[in-house]
Structure 1
Amino acid sequence: MKRFLSLALACAALPAVAQAEAPKHLDYLDAAKFTPSQILPPPAAHGSASEAFELETLHRLLAKASPERLAQAKVDSDNENPSLFNNVVGFDLKTKPATWALLTLVQSEGDLAADKSKTFFHRMRPYSADPSIPFCEHKPDPAKPEYRSYPSGHSTLGYSVGWVLAHLMPAKADAILARAADYAMSREYCGAHYASDTEASHVIGTMVGIDLLADPRLAGKIAAARAELSKP
């Protein structure tokens, strides 16, 4: 009895965060608008002819990829934040605090919206469906297939933040949006996602960007970022 009492007291003494993390939730986006079955078609079923076609397409893409493009995919895989646009805007976005705060907010909201669909669709990753697909991040365990392929989190980041940044910096919009698309392609070159995964992210990311830019609660943050970016 004393042993069980000691264990209970020890557990009670643990910080709340260690016992259970508070669930994350959307702060600005309307969760109802991001109901997975209402915004995305279901992905190809595992073992289907459609999945086989997507895997074959991915194999062809990787077979023709240059070492430089594969290396870029690995760099993009490791860089999952708005600084992915630094080269196209011509400066480090972290040096613009109001802009960085807004863009990381967009990323956070987009992550949660994409995660809702990842959980709902529960799609197997390409490298789990076909172990011969190379994966640039780590060596996957074939005994533990991964099921978070549809949509792509990285691609949702690129498309949502890219949409907002393009509207804050219209003179560089073409380059910003092209970078978002190339960043999404890196997920295919990395072997982490199918083309339909990244296209689903295009849908969600654009929705996220449109809704957040139009949210009156963010008007002050958007104005501050735009003013900051207008300065040399």
Structure 2
Amino acid sequence: MLALLLALAAAQADKAASMLGATDLDPARVLPPPPAPGSAQARAELAELRTRQASRTAQQKDAAERTGETKNATIFAGVLGPRFDLARLPATARLLAIVRATEKEAIDRGKDHFARQRPWIVDPSLTPCKLGKEPLSSYPSGHATNAYAMAAVLAQLVPAKAPALMARAAEYAETRITCEQHWRSDLTAGEAFGLLLAERLMAKPAFRAVFTQAQVELAAAGIR
């Protein structure tokens, strides 16, 4: 039975489609450009990554890499408790899958527009968790955007947990610094864009309809 529920949840996620097009929310129009190469801010961000590399332990690096491999709302299970099981919460799973699909489409547009170099391209002495296949895709951070967008939506579903949800989003985003996959301003931009994305989604009647279903579902599950 559990396997069937998991399969149904996965199918819902696969069917989710973005609800915001380029005319609704364009990263190139709402985000400032990243720091110019060689600027004081760019040098400071590189110094931060070098410092993190010198201070992190192997265990911290491994933990950050494992965390970054999860790109769905299960990253908030520790905040919302064991009843937050998306396999048993189909409306909530669908809602958050829409957030993820919308974030992915929008962020890809932003990454293509800004084409910022990943840290390990600028400084080959850095040892990131992974050497990605897209060296010009650093800004903004998709992980940060996704985490903050989901946290913002969940915070409206479970207001009592809002501070903890936002703190978890920040903690999750920080793994991208530990892993040396992103610059600090990539995360800052991701936070701002994720919050804006959630706000724009909440203004969409189709999204609000699914949101209401998730609200009822979570209340019935005792997630408050």
Q: Which residue of 2 aligns with 1:198?
A: 187
> Is 1:159–1:177's contact at 8 Å kept on the other side of the alignment?
yes
Shift of residue 94 of structure 1? 3.2
**Could you tell me the TM-score, scaled by structure 2's length?**
0.84
Q: Which residue of 1 aligns with 2:86?
A: 93
> Is 1:128–1:145's contact at 8 Å kept on the other side of the alignment?
no
Matched, 1:127 2:120: yes
Shift of residue 68 of structure 1? 4.2
Q: Which among 213, 216, 221 is matched to residue 210 of structure 2? A: 221
Tell me how far apart the structure 2 counterparts of residues 146 and 120 of structure 1 sit (CA, whole Å): 14
> Is 2:18–2:101's contact at 8 Å kept on the other side of the alignment?
no
Tell me how far apart the structure 2 counterparts of residues 134 and 226 of structure 1 sit (CA, whole Å): 43
Tell me how far apart the structure 2 counterparts of residues 67 and 171 of structure 1 sit (CA, whole Å): 35
Can you list the C-alpha shifts for 1:160-200, whole angstroms capped at 9, x where unaligned? 11110111011111111100011111111111000100111
Residues 35-46 of structure 1: pairs in structure 2 closer than 5 A: 35-46=26-37
Shift of residue 66 of structure 1? 4.1
SS of the residue corresponding to residue 32 of structure 1 reads coil
Q: Which residue of 2 aligns with 1:5?
A: none
SS of the residue corresponding to residue 34 of structure 1 reads coil
Amino acid at match of 1:38: R
**Could you tell me the TM-score, scaled by structure 1's length?**
0.81
Can you list the C-alpha shifts for 1:26-64, whole angstroms capped at 9, x where unaligned? 742242243333211111233444322211111113323
Aligned residue pairs total 203
Go from structure 1 to structure 2 and tell me whether the alpha carbon gap of 1:208 and 1:167 turns closer, same or farther (over 3 Å shift): same
Shift of residue 80 of structure 1? 1.3
Q: Which among 76, 79, 93 is matched to residue 70 of structure 2? A: 79
4+ long deviations beyond 4 Å = none
Q: Which residue of 1 aligns with 2:61?
A: 70
Percent identical pairs in the alignment equals 37
Q: Which residue of 2 aligns with 1:159?
A: 148
Which sections of structure 1, spanning at least 5 residues, go unmatched?
1-25
> Is 2:27–2:193's contact at 8 Å kept on the other side of the alignment?
no
> Is 1:153–1:201's contact at 8 Å kept on the other side of the alignment?
yes
